[in-house]
Amino acid sequence: MNSQYLLAFDLPRELDAERKRINRELRAINADMVQHSFWKSGNLRELMSLAVFIKNSGGSARILEEKLIFGNE
């Protein structure tokens, strides 16, 4: 099974153009939106690039590795 990663980010409201760019790029790498500003993808390299862009734009970003603790699979 491939690793999955979660990108959680926060941008100031006035950075609407940056938010649109981030959402476009996340959709382009087929990331799944978990919640608003919380996305899941197996493409760590692209998530890292977006996290750096977010931080350089004045926002905050974190990338977490998904780990299943319990499931009925």
Please report, in tens digits, the pLDDT of each residue of the chain (73 residues total).
589 999 999 999 999 999 999 999 999 999 999 998 999 999 999 999 999 999 999 999 999 999 888 877 6
Going by their DSSP bridges, the two strands 60-65 and 38-41 should be labelled as unpaired
- The secondary structure of residue 42, as a DSSP letter, is S
Domain annotation covers residue 32: yes
Position 70 in a domain: no
22, 53 contact by CB (below 8 A):
yes
CATH number of residue 22's parent domain: 3.30.70.240
In a domain? residue 72? no
Query: In this structure, is residue 35 part of a structural domain?
Result: yes
Q: Tell me if 71 is assigned to some domain.
A: no
The whole domain housing 27 covers: 5-65
Let me know: does 54 contact 11? Beta carbons within 8 Å: yes
* Tally of domains in the chain: 1
Task: Retrieve residue 41's tokens.
Answer: 């993808």
Whole-model pTM: value is 0.88
In a domain, 27, yes or no: yes
